[in-house]
Structure 1
Amino acid sequence: MEDHLDVGQNPDVRLFVTRTGPGPGRSPLLVIHGGPDWDHSYLREPLVRLADHHDVIFPDLRGCGRSTQGLAVHHYTPAAATGDLVALLDALGLAQADVLGFSYGGLLAQRLAVLAPGRVRRLVIASSSVPPVPKDAYDGWAERERRTAAERRVWSESTLTGPELTRAAAYAGAEADVWRAEMLDGYRERLAAVRFSGEWLRAWQAGSLPSARIDDAARRLAELGVPILLLHGRQDMTFPVALAEEASVLIPSARAVILEEAGHMAHVDQPERWLAAVTSFLREDLPA
């Protein structure tokens, strides 16, 4: 099922949404993609396999994919994106949903849980972090220096702009995002289907893009008591795995599942184990 749904006025914003569809026994799972100048398509596999038990909802964020683009740069903010997601739940008639946020989407998912209490039933924070990333988090990891060099060159030396720059950086970063060499060709095929944009990049370049991270996130999530799965690849080169382990200690309702031989795109490196962790978590009984 595909649709465009109105989620905002002043400015008018329509989100492109695909979903596996509601039905008896299918609980809603809202999936928030990262990037943010990507679309949702790189997360469809393996999550579409949950369709027997879940109505999996994949929106493209404002400025991304087939959702509204061309807004003034000050309209691309984490607060605005979070407001869109609340409005989307309203438009779908959902008082509550399970939420999976990936990478940058994991930061938005935390905002949604904290700032719209009661709307998030369970929370999966995938390949993201709750505590801030220390500046020295990756010091001394020579393999990361080697694998991230190509993407760093794109950002620092490229004459490309807009979606072309976002796309080039994604391809250049493939070896850093995917740990297992045998999964790289399939990942690049996945990237070929992504509708990259440069809308959030415009806001970042203009200096108008605030941090998506909420203050004192661990304490605020702990106070909510929402069940949380921190799903992470051991070789993640964007968000250090130690932060997932740290958050699982700081938040009593959270637990970390760390996948070996998996990078930032852990769902690409280890699709079966990644999906099994999500499935198990979503089928657990909620606390009374």
Structure 2
Amino acid sequence: MFTQDMVAVGGEPAVELFVARSVRPAGRAMLVIHGGPDWDHTYLRKPLDQLSDRYQLIMPDLRGCGRSTRGLADDQYTPAAATDDLVALLDALGLGQVDVLGFSYGGLIAQRLAVAAPERVRRLIIASSGILPVPPDAFDGWTERAERLAAEAAVWADSALSGPELTRAAAVASAGANVWRQEALADYLDRLARIHFTAEWLSPLRAGILPPARPEDAVRRLAAAGHPLLLLHGRQDMTFPAALAEDAATLIPSARAVVLEEAGHMTHVDQPQEWLNAVARFLR
């Protein structure tokens, strides 16, 4: 069961984050950072909700996302601002140190949190994301990827779509690329139907003023921070190549990679039990 609250995290400009929290158990707390970024946290609730008897799950919508504060100026949507919001959220909730799971774009924000405020992070999970930059030729020769992504490309090229309608349509059109197993697709589409999509971050992206989310020199800085680090990935991820997660794990002494077979970008949908087991084993 989750409680849902608005939590103030900033004064200039005023920002409140919509936060879902599982009923507090005796155990540790885990901060879950969603991707998108113009999505919300809800697509990550399952299977993580199965850990709510052992961990307090803290699942915010980032600024401009879901039911958190919207309508800010374009230059207020930055990875640095989102990271500062999360530190302020931990302060507001009275949490000193937490485990952190960042998914996709949220994995890049999680890296920023780990290097900006290392004392606030106990263990770090980077799921379906990347520490190493994706080279331009990373997916060369993968014909099926091009075929599965064609529908999403058509949506982004449709000038009749804009705002949250565009973000939602693109997410639905990309479902066949993000989920590898056909039998998992219905569950994923149901999750998409429940998301409060926005397009707040799309505006600065298209204006060319959105800074890169990946922290500079991420490998060296994460290695220096020394957090136990899990790189959790799907073998058929079409956004962040699985091989880069394995490569990063060889470069960071405290890291290990777990790559699940028959799973795409939404690994937790394709292989929910294996994905959850990997998270639970790492957090012990």
Pairwise TM-score range, normalised by the shorter structure: over 0.9
CA distance in 2, matches of 1:81, 1:182: 35
2:17 is aligned to 15
Query: Within 5 A, what are the aligned runs for 1:121-200?
Result: 121-200=122-201
1:90 is aligned to 91
CA distance in 2, matches of 1:282, 1:215: 27
- The Cα offsets for residues 29-77 of structure 1, whole Å up to 9 and x where unpaired, read as 0000000000000000000110010000000000001100000000000
- The Cα offsets for residues 248-268 of structure 1, whole Å up to 9 and x where unpaired, read as 000000000000000000000
Letter in 2 for 1:123: L
Cα distance, 1:23 vs structure 2 = 2.8
Sequence identity of aligned pairs in percent?
A: 67
Letter in 1 for 2:207: A
Q: Is the 8 A contact 2:16 2:69 kept in 1?
A: yes
Cα distance, 1:214 vs structure 2 = 0.8
Q: Is the 8 A contact 2:25 2:53 kept in 1?
A: no
Cα distance, 1:158 vs structure 2 = 4.0
CA distance in 2, matches of 1:207, 1:144: 27
- The Cα offsets for residues 216-246 of structure 1, whole Å up to 9 and x where unpaired, read as 1011100111000000000000000011001
CA distance in 1, matches of 2:208, 2:144: 31
CA distance in 2, matches of 1:207, 1:29: 33
Cα distance, 1:21 vs structure 2 = 2.5
CA distance in 2, matches of 1:205, 1:248: 33
CA distance in 1, matches of 2:173, 2:183: 17
2:73 is aligned to 72
- 3-state DSSP of counterpart to 1:157: coil
Cα distance, 1:211 vs structure 2 = 0.5
1:212 is aligned to 213
2:57 is aligned to 56
- 3-state DSSP of counterpart to 1:213: coil
More divergent stretch after superposition (130-139 vs 154-163): 154-163
CA distance in 1, matches of 2:160, 2:30: 39
Letter in 1 for 2:4: E
CA distance in 2, matches of 1:202, 1:43: 25
CA distance in 2, matches of 1:158, 1:51: 43
Q: Is the 8 A contact 1:162 1:197 kept in 2?
A: yes
2:35 is aligned to 34
Cα distance, 1:153 vs structure 2 = 1.2
- Structure 1, unmatched stretches of 5+, are 284-288
Q: Is the 8 A contact 2:25 2:52 kept in 1?
A: no
CA distance in 1, matches of 2:122, 2:43: 24
Letter in 1 for 2:175: A
Query: RMSD across aligned C-alpha pairs, in angstroms?
Result: 0.7
Q: Is the 8 A contact 1:158 1:165 kept in 2?
A: no
More divergent stretch after superposition (150-159 vs 191-200): 150-159
- 3-state DSSP of counterpart to 1:6: strand
- The Cα offsets for residues 119-146 of structure 1, whole Å up to 9 and x where unpaired, read as 1110000000000000000000001010
CA distance in 2, matches of 1:225, 1:83: 21
- The Cα offsets for residues 142-182 of structure 1, whole Å up to 9 and x where unpaired, read as 01010011101111234211100000000000000000001
Letter in 1 for 2:183: E
1:244 is aligned to 245
CA distance in 1, matches of 2:69, 2:49: 24
- 3-state DSSP of counterpart to 2:38: coil
Letter in 2 for 1:27: R
Cα distance, 1:2 vs structure 2 = 1.0
- The Cα offsets for residues 3-41 of structure 1, whole Å up to 9 and x where unpaired, read as 1000001100000001102232x2000000000000000
Structure-1-length-normalised TM-score: 0.97
Q: Is the 8 A contact 1:17 1:57 kept in 2?
A: yes
Establish whether residue 271 from structure 1 lines up as the match of residue 272 from structure 2: yes
Following TM superposition, the consecutive aligned residue runs of length 4 or more in structure 1 with deviations greater than 6 angstroms are none
Structure-2-length-normalised TM-score: 0.98
CA distance in 2, matches of 1:274, 1:81: 26
Letter in 2 for 1:253: S
Q: Is the 8 A contact 1:106 1:128 kept in 2?
A: yes
